[in-house]
Every structure is written in structure tokens, then in C-alpha cells.
């Protein structure tokens, strides 16, 4: 940690940029803590003053700017620009803009020219983050550059979803196709596993225009789930590359990581670094992979051109994680190249739910239920307790409302004639 403390420019602040409403996200809390602990001023755009991020002792200021992703682009750019101008006026220099979702990454890249007077941004083609976040164009880029991926079909019309299912087979994975439309008109709430045609028609009836992608499902018994987080400099040159295994997720069939372990994997690290060089990606990225044990190939599932929620799993012996690496690079400083630490990562309450589901399915105890000493926790830590407390209060409220709504739906169904 001493090396990173000496190298970081603590006069250059950071702004977390977000689009949409996800108040219980733990990724932004991790970014605030990562910079706050080394003395870098960090600001954040939040949807309301009661988000866990806003309660962190390491946050310099929360800018309350609620958005849905359905606003006009000019309006969203103006919000970011005005905050950047205010921070620059107060600190006397541009700040590092750090996107915490795909929409923010697209917004910053496509409007880099008008935002550059106020922000330090990675140099790359403005259209690239949108292409990588789009599941369809990502699949085309994988084919172009020789990167393996599960069989993928993009229905051109609502009726085409049934044909896509027949080509990919059941179970079938459905994903929202691209950034912004996943917020404005989502086809599914999240990555969804469909078991048969009846379930497909229930979730996605053949009416209207769907922005959805169908993908081959790689069975858990024949695959391993790997994750890579990295930071690239100009022209896709890797500055920090981390690899690890995803052990559990929420929802269990393909959601975000709730438990993972940091594991060096030189083959996968070179694969992701080579892909970023070929496409010219610069900045932070979070990629999901499956190792298909049937053919021995790593297959790319998703490329997220922004900070991943579980990025704090990964850190080097020098104290470098991907957000600190980006800050070093954009302020003209070298990034130390030490090996990654061996540790685990856990997301408290959601990992409990995910583990419970896994125990019910497998009908046997899991080997990694008890947190290890090396576990990096998404919420609970001794030096910043308030975000975890805020999360518990907010999560409990959401859970209570969900249970009450389910109970009300059952009561009204039973009371309806013929129900």
C-alpha cells in the first residue's frame, strides 16, 4: 500500500457517474472506499440522500441527481457537465470520471469532446463502449477477432424469438440487448434462464418490438464461471489485469456475483488483454466468461465497459485495483505491476439467499459457507460501518414490501370468482 500512496495524485478528485436507479448497488461503495482510504477526494451522483453510498465516511459529497435512463441525452450530459464544472471550480483541476453502469460509460464516451474540459477520460473511439455493451455487436466482435462465445441469436421480430430458441435449444438464456433500452423498455428484468417454450411465451409474448438476445446455455456441470477485471491504457494496452472464479451469484441462474475467489489465470488474462488490444479499448472493464469443459475454451458472456460491482475482490500486493490504476494512468503516473492478492469476496445478505438456494438444489452443505479471514466484504467493514447499516434498513424495507405484495396478490386471486 505504501507504493500506491506515494504514487497517487491526491489533488485530482474522482466523480462516480451513474444513470438509472439502483440504490443498493455495492460497487459504488467500493469505489468510494478505495479512493477515500488513500486520500483521494471522491464525489458521487446518487438517486437520493438515503443511498448507502451517500452514508460513506469517505465520500466528499453526494450530488443528488435522480435519473431513469429515459431522459433526453442532452439533459443527462448537462447534469454531468455541471457537476464537473463545480468540482473543477472548487478543486482547481479536472476530475477523473468513473462510470458505474453501462449507460454512464456510453454517455461519457460519446460526449467526451464536450466533457473533456471538466473531466479526465480514457482515450478511445467514442462508439466503442456502446458496441461492447450491446450483446449483439459484442458477439459479432468476438467472431471477428476469434474469441469464443456461446451461440447467440438476435430475433429481428417478436415471432423470431421462438426460432432463436429452437436454434440455441433449451434451457435458453435471455438478455436485454443494449444499454439504455434495458432501462426504458426491458424485455427481461435481468439475465434470465428459460426452461421451455411455455415459459418463453409467458415471459416474452410475441407482440411488440423486443430488444432482447437469445443465447445458448452452458450447463453448470460442464462449465466453470470466470471473471476478469482490467484497466487498459491508450490503444488497449493492459495496465492491470485480474482473474478469478465466480462461486455464487444472485439470482442463482446468472445474476451478479455474490461470492468469488481471486485466482491467477495467465491464459485467460492474455485472452482478455489481447481482445482489448484488438478493439482498442481504454479504461476499466468487467468481463464474464465460461470455461466450457466439453471443448476446453473460454467463452465470453458479457463485456461491461465500466467498473464491475465486485472489483474490490482484486488488488495487487502494491495496493493497485482497477480504479486506482485508472487514476494513476489518467494523471500521468506509472502503474505498479505486482501480483494479485489471493482472497475471497462476499456480498452479505444476497450471498445468504444464493447459498440457501444452492443447498436446496444440491441437498448437501456447501464447502465455502463460512467467510474466510481473507474475505473482502462488499458492505460490512470496521472503518466504514454506515453504508452497511443503511443497506440493511433499505433492504429490509424492500423485502417487507415484496412479501406484502405477494400476500396481497394471493388474497385477491383467491377472492376472485373462479380464482
Residues 107, 226: one domain? Answer: yes
Confidence class of residue 189 from pLDDT cuts 50, 70 and 90? confident
Average pLDDT over residues 112-116: 97
In this structure, what CATH number is given to the domain that contains residue 159?
A: 3.30.1490
335 and 261 assigned to the same domain: yes
CA distances (Å), 312 to each of 259, 306, 385, in order? 12, 14, 17
Q: Which structural domain range is residue 163 located in?
A: 151-216
Nearest-5° Cα angle at 37, 33 to 38: 125
Is 146 inside any structural domain? no
Indicate whether 276 belongs to any domain. yes
Residues 21 and 108 in one domain: yes
**Residue 378, in any domain of the structure:** no
52 and 168 co-located in one domain? no
Do 202 and 224 lie in one domain? The reply is no
With 0-12 / 13-18 / 19 or more C-beta atoms within 10 angstroms meaning exposed / middle / buried, residue 221 is exposed
Q: Are residues 44 and 94 in the same domain?
A: yes
Is pLDDT of 293 > 90? Answer: yes
pLDDT tens column, 231-263:
999 989 999 999 999 998 887 766 778 899 999
Q: Does residue 123 belong to any structural domain of this protein?
A: yes
- The pLDDT tens digits for 2-31 are 566 678 999 999 999 999 999 999 999 999
pLDDT band at residue 401 using 50, 70 and 90 as cut-offs: low
Whole-number average pLDDT of the chain: 89
Domain membership flag for residue 374: no
Q: Do residues 168 and 89 both lie within one domain?
A: no
> Cα torsion for 410, 413, 416, 419, to the nearest 10°?
-120
Predicted local distance difference test score (pLDDT) of residue 419: 44
Is 65 found in the same domain as 22? yes
- 376, containing H or E segment: strand 375-377
160 within a domain of the structure (yes/no): yes
The structural domain count of the chain equals 2
User: What average pLDDT score do residues 86-103 get?
Assistant: 95
| CATH number of 247's domain | 3.30.470.20
Same-domain check for residues 192 and 257: no
Q: Among 216, 233, 267, give the residue marking a domain's end.
A: 216
In a domain, 417, yes or no: no
Structural domain includes residue 91: yes
Do 80 and 21 lie in one domain? The reply is yes
Task: Judge whether residue 98 has pLDDT over 90.
Answer: yes
Cell for 103? 449507460
For residues 297 and 159, membership in a common domain is answered with no
* Cα 403 to Cα 391, 399, 400, distances in angstroms: 18, 6, 5
Over residues 327-340, mean pLDDT: 95
Q: How many CA atoms lie within 13 A of 416 on its CB side?
A: 8
Asked if residue 208 and residue 66 are part of one domain, the reply reads no
Amino acid at each position: 500500500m505504501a507504493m500506491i500512496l506515494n504514487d497517487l495524485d491526491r489533488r485530482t478528485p474522482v466523480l462516480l457517474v451513474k444513470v438509472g436507479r439502483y440504490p443498493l448497488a455495492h460497487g459504488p461503495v467500493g469505489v468510494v472506499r478505495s479512493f477515500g482510504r488513500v486520500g483521494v477526494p471522491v464525489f458521487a451522483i446518487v438517486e437520493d440522500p438515503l443511498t448507502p453510498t451517500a452514508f460513506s465516511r469517505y465520500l466528499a459529497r453526494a450530488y443528488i441527481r435522480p435519473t431513469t435512463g429515459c431522459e433526453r441525452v442532452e439533459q443527462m450530459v448537462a447534469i454531468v457537465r455541471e457537476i464537473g464544472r463545480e468540482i473543477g471550480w472548487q478543486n482547481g483541476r479536472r476530475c477523473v470520471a468513473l462510470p458505474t453502469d453501462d449507460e454512464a460509460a456510453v454517455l461519457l464516451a460519446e460526449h467526451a469532446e464536450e466533457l473533456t474540459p471538466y473531466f479526465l477520460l480514457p482515450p478511445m473511439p467514442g462508439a466503442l463502449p456502446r458496441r461492447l455493451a450491446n450483446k449483439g455487436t459484442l458477439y459479432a466482435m468476438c467472431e471477428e477477432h476469434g474469441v469464443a462465445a456461446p451461440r447467440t441469436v438476435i430475433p429481428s421480430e417478436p415471432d423470431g424469438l421462438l426460432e432463436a430458441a429452437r436454434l440455441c435449444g433449451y434451457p435458453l438464456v435471455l438478455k436485454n440487448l443494449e444499454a439504455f433500452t434495458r432501462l426504458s423498455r426491458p424485455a427481461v428484468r435481468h439475465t434470465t434462464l428459460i426452461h421451455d417454450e411455455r415459459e418463453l411465451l409467458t415471459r416474452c409474448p410475441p407482440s411488440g418490438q423486443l430488444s432482447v438476445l437469445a443465447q445458448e446455455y452452458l450447463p453448470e456441470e460442464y462449465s466453470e464461471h470466470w471473471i476478469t477485471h482490467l484497466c487498459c491504457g491508450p490503444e488497449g494496452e493492459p495496465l492491470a489485469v485480474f482473474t478469478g472464479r465466480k462461486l455464487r451469484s444472485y439470482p442463482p441462474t446468472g445474476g451478479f456475483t455474490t461470492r468469488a475467489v481471486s485466482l491467477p489465470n495467465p491464459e485467460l488474462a492474455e485472452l482478455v488483454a489481447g481482445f482489448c488490444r484488438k478493439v482498442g479499448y481504454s479504461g476499466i472493464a468487467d468481463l464474464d466468461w465460461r470455461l466450457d469443459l466439453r471443448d476446453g475454451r473460454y467463452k465470453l458472456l458479457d463485456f461491461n465497459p465500466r467498473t464491475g460491482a465486485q472489483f474490490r475482490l482484486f488488488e495487487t500486493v502494491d495496493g493497485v485495483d482497477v480504479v486506482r490504476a485508472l487514476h494513476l494512468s489518467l494523471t500521468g503516473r506509472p502503474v505498479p505491476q505486482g501480483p494479485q492478492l489471493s482472497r475471497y469476496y462476499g456480498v452479505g445478505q444476497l450471498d445468504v439467499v444464493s447459498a440457501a438456494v444452492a443447498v436446496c438444489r444440491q441437498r448437501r452443505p456447501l464447502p465455502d459457507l463460512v467467510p474466510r479471514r481473507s474475505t473482502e466484504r462488499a458492505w460490512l467493514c470496521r472503518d466504514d460501518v454506515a453504508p452497511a447499516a443503511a443497506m440493511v434498513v433499505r433492504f429490509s424495507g424492500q423485502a417487507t414490501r415484496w412479501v406484502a405484495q405477494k400476500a396481497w396478490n394471493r388474497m385477491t386471486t383467491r377472492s376472485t370468482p373462479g380464482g
